[in-house]
A and B are shown apart, each in its own frame.
Chain A
Amino acid sequence: MIVLDQRGRRCPLPVIELARRIGDVPVGGLVAVAADDPAARLDIPAWCRMRGHAYEGETAAADGVPVYSVRRGG
């Protein structure tokens, strides 16, 4: 699993970074995005739907920033 630190970055940058890095994990692998931009909560699941990846849900980092998990699709 790779973790992308997108704290302080505004939309659409967290989604762009996610798109750049999803290929770094094998199919079925996980990418986690830590992002405090409120649009990420909406745009990461929407991107997964448009791109055929699986949105695995949201947890919180130690500093309280939301972390969104994505499983790479085939």
Chain B
Amino acid sequence: MRVSGGTVAAMAAYLDAASAVPLHPVAREALVAALADGWADPAKQHGAGRRSRLLLDGAREVVAEALGARADEVTFCASGTQAAQLAVLGGLAARRRVSRRFVHSAVEHSCVLHAAERHVADGGEAVPVPVDRLGRVDPAAFAAAARGAALASLMTANHEVGTLQPVAEVAAALDVPLHTDAAQSVGRLPVPAGWSLLSASAHKWGGPPGVGVLVVRTGTRWRSPLPVDERERGRVPGFENVPAIVAAAASLRAVLAEAAAEADRQRALVDRIRATVAATVPDVEVVGDPDARLPHLVTFSCLYVDGEALLTELDRRGFAVSSGSSCTSATLTPSHVLEAMGVLSHGNVRVSLHRDSTAADVDRFLAVLPPLVAGLRERAGVTGL
């Protein structure tokens, strides 16, 4: 079934894949099967427990192979946010005698920024590294800022504007461990080289929500910021959600099999959005790197337009998108990503595609958007300004 919304089901298009992707059919099958076979405690020695353990170990092998890691480096937790926060706080805790300094790009996901706030509240130091107008850090400047630090964090690709970060280049120049938040790129692009800690999230690649992946490279110093039990090699306490983990692994294997072709297809659709929006909507700023970017995501800001009104009007017509405009945030502050890039923040729309997104979805969006923006501008009395 396609994702749909009420009476406009036939015309609806879910274009907010960067928030969450609909469950992959392979994940659905695996989830149902694993609910029957993988409900028991994988830490127990009885037959039912051993069956769960077998499923969990198999899922771990699959995810490890997909990420270019060893199975014993991969642990599962409750979300991508938890994985990133464990990576950052655990990486900092293990090196607190070396340094209390945490260096990160200014455009990291809020989960990393929240971990940085916790670190500062605990007496540590957090140093954001600025980005350019396209949203990218300068590799030499980042490496220089991170010299002698406890830990550095640089996302693989930005979740709001799609810009790829030079992770491998930075890693090669660093003398400290690097965490990369790969939530937006895993399942879509190859994993970059050189990181010590990686975090990812299953519901971004078509797995179920509630599964985060934390990878700690062998030899990386890391100490759990949480109380420790016998699960997940002492890295994540609590009973593993085996059925969801099995479904996450199955969907990752499935999306990787078609990742290159899907990336090409989505990149062409995003190219069409970038070009058409710039040509058909006056006074629009398409933001993020036009080339070195995620294949599925595009962001633009419409001058003089209220972002919340734009989202509401698009939703009324069946299009689910996202926005970094302040009026759409709980705190009424603009997105820290757009702020760090120094680009227009109002009238902001993020469109992100997934495997069910069609050329027809994109064409309908591109047909609806220009008159909608023109109507909002007319209503606000800003036409011709």
Q: Return B379 CB to nearest CB of chain A, in Å.
A: 12
A-B contact number at CB 8 A: 65
Would you call B332 and A46 a contact (CB within 8 A)? Answer: no
With A10-B327, A15-B304: A46-B385 Cβ-Cβ less than 8 Å: no
Q: Write out, one digit per residue, whether chain B residues 37-71 have a CB within 8 A of any chain A CB (1) or not (0).
A: 00000000000000000000000000000000000
Q: Write out, one digit per residue, whether chain A residues 53-71 have a CB within 8 A of any chain B CB (1) or not (0).
A: 0000000000000000000
With A37-B326, A39-B346: A20-B385 Cβ-Cβ less than 8 Å: yes
16 contacts between A and B (CB under 8 A): A10-B327, A11-B325, A11-B327, A11-B346, A12-B303, A15-B303, A16-B382, A37-B326, A37-B332, A38-B326, A39-B326, A39-B334, A42-B338, A46-B342, A50-B283, A50-B344
Mark out the residues of chain B between 282 and 308 whose CB falls within 8 Å of any chain A CB in the assembled complex: 283, 285, 301, 303-306
Check if A19 is an interface residue, CB within 8 A of chain B. yes
Mark out the residues of chain A between 1 and 32 whose CB falls within 8 Å of any chain B CB in the assembled complex: 10-12, 15-16, 19-20
Q: Write out, one digit per residue, whether chain A residues 34-51 have a CB within 8 A of any chain B CB (1) or not (0).
A: 000111011101110010
Q: Return B134 CB to nearest CB of chain A, in Å.
A: 14
Contacts of B333 in A (CB 8 A): 38-39
Closest to B301 in A: A46
Would you call A50 and B332 a contact (CB within 8 A)? Answer: no
Check if B85 is an interface residue, CB within 8 A of chain A. no
Complex Cα distance, B382 from A6, in Å, reads 17
A11-B334, A16-B385, A39-B334 are known contacts; what are 7 more A-B pairs with Cβ within 8 Å? Answer: A11-B326, A11-B327, A12-B346, A37-B326, A42-B344, A43-B334, A46-B301
With A16-B304, A19-B385: A10-B332 Cβ-Cβ less than 8 Å: yes
Number of interface residues of A (CB under 8 A): 17
Check if B191 is an interface residue, CB within 8 A of chain A. no
Would you call B346 and A43 a contact (CB within 8 A)? Answer: yes
Would you call A11 and B345 a contact (CB within 8 A)? Answer: yes
Interface size class of B (residues with CB under 8 A): 20 to 34
Please classify the interface of chain B as helix (H, G, I), strand (E, B), loop, or mixed, using the class held by over half of its residues.
loop
Complex Cα distance, B285 from A46, in Å, reads 10
Q: Return B261 CB to nearest CB of chain A, in Å.
A: 37
Please classify the interface of chain A as helix (H, G, I), strand (E, B), loop, or mixed, using the class held by over half of its residues.
helix
Contacts of B327 in A (CB 8 A): 10-11
Complex Cα distance, B308 from A10, in Å, reads 12
Q: A12 is contacted by which of B305, B338, B342 (Cβ under 8 Å)?
A: B305
With A12-B346, A42-B342, A45-B342: A50-B303 Cβ-Cβ less than 8 Å: yes
Contacts of A46 in B (CB 8 A): 285, 301, 342-345
Q: Write out, one digit per residue, whether chain B residues 335-349 have a CB within 8 A of any chain A CB (1) or not (0).
A: 000110011111100
Complex Cα distance, B381 from A20, in Å, reads 10
Complex Cα distance, B20 from A36, in Å, reads 34
Q: Return B383 CB to nearest CB of chain A, in Å.
A: 11
Complex Cα distance, B347 from A10, in Å, reads 12
Complex Cα distance, B214 from A16, in Å, reads 46
Check if B33 is an interface residue, CB within 8 A of chain A. no
Contacts of A20 in B (CB 8 A): 385
Would you call A19 and B304 a contact (CB within 8 A)? Answer: yes
Check if B380 is an interface residue, CB within 8 A of chain A. yes
B285, B303, B325, B342 interface centre (most CB from chain A within 10 Å): B303
The 10 closest A-B pairs by CB, nearest first: A46-B344, A12-B346, A19-B385, A39-B326, A11-B346, A39-B334, A38-B333, A42-B345, A42-B339, A39-B345
Contacts of A50 in B (CB 8 A): 283, 285, 303, 344
Contacts of B334 in A (CB 8 A): 11, 38-39, 42-43
Contacts of B382 in A (CB 8 A): 16, 19
Contacts of B301 in A (CB 8 A): 46
Contacts of B304 in A (CB 8 A): 12, 15-16, 19
Q: Return B7 CB to nearest CB of chain A, in Å.
A: 31
Would you call B326 and A16 a contact (CB within 8 A)? Answer: no
Would you call B380 and A16 a contact (CB within 8 A)? Answer: yes
A19, A37, A38, A43 interface centre (most CB from chain B within 10 Å): A43
